[in-house]
Amino acid sequence: MVPVNRAGRPFILAFGVATIVLFVIWQPLGWIGLILTMWCAAFFRDPQRLTPVAEGAVVAPADGRVALVDYAVPPAELGLGSEPRLRISTFMSVFDVHVNRTPVSGRVVQSVHRPGRFLNAEDPASSAENERQSILLDTPAGDVAVVMIAGLVARRIVPLHAIGDHLVAGERIGLIRFGSRVDVYLPADSRPLVAVGQRAVAGETLIADTAGLRPALTTTRIG
C-alpha cells in the first residue's frame, strides 16, 4: 500500500462520505462515487523515493513529463534580476504523484505566494500569469529557484516548508492539488540532463548538473 499524504485525507474522507450517500440514493451512482474515491486516494499517494547524491546533482522536483528545457528570467518576486537562467519545467497530469520535492539541498531563504490565473499549466504563459509559490534556495552551487504553479484544474498550493528550513535533496516541499507544473531555475553554467517529453520521477530522476557529476552516485532514502 502506497502511503497517502495527510493533506489529502480530508478530501478522501469527503469522497468516501459522498459515496455512501450515493449508494443510499441509487446504487449505480454509488459505484461511480467509489471509483472517484479510489482516484482521489491515488492522487494523494506519497511514495518513498531513493534520491541520487552527488556534487552538482539536481533531481526532478515533480513526477510527470518534462515540458520545457529553456532559458528564462525567474519570477520577479524572488529578486534574482533579469538575467535568463536555465529553466526545466515538469508538467503533472491528474494521474501523477503531486507531492513535490526539493531538487537540491539548501536553505529556504524566500517563499512567496502570488495569486494569479489558472491557465493550462502546459502553456508557457502560465509561468508568469498563474497562481504560484516561488521558493528560493541558498545552495553551495548558488541560488536555485523552485516555482510551484497551479494549473487549469489545480486551485490550491500547499507548502510543506518554511523560511529558514535546511532541506536535503529529495525532501518534500509542497503539494499542488489536482494538476499543475513545477519550474526549476538553475545557476549559470548548469547543464540539462533531460529533454522535452521525457518522463521524470520526483526525487529520483537527474534533470541537471551544476558542478560535474561524479562517476559513481550514492543514494539516500527520503521517506
Q: Which residues are catalytic?
A: 180
CA 35 to chain centre: 25
From 148, 156, 149, select the one nearest 108 (Cα to Cα).
148
- Cell numbers for 96, please give them: 501523477
Between vectors from CA 40 to CA 38 and to CA 45, what angle results, nearest 5°?
Answer: 95
Q: Taking the mean position of all CA atoms in its chain, how far away is CA 93?
A: 11
Q: Could you tell me the CA-to-CA distances from 83 to 76, 105, 120, 186 in Å, in that order?
A: 11, 23, 26, 11
C-alpha cell at 150: 497551479
Q: Cβ distance 74 to 183 under 8 Å?
A: no
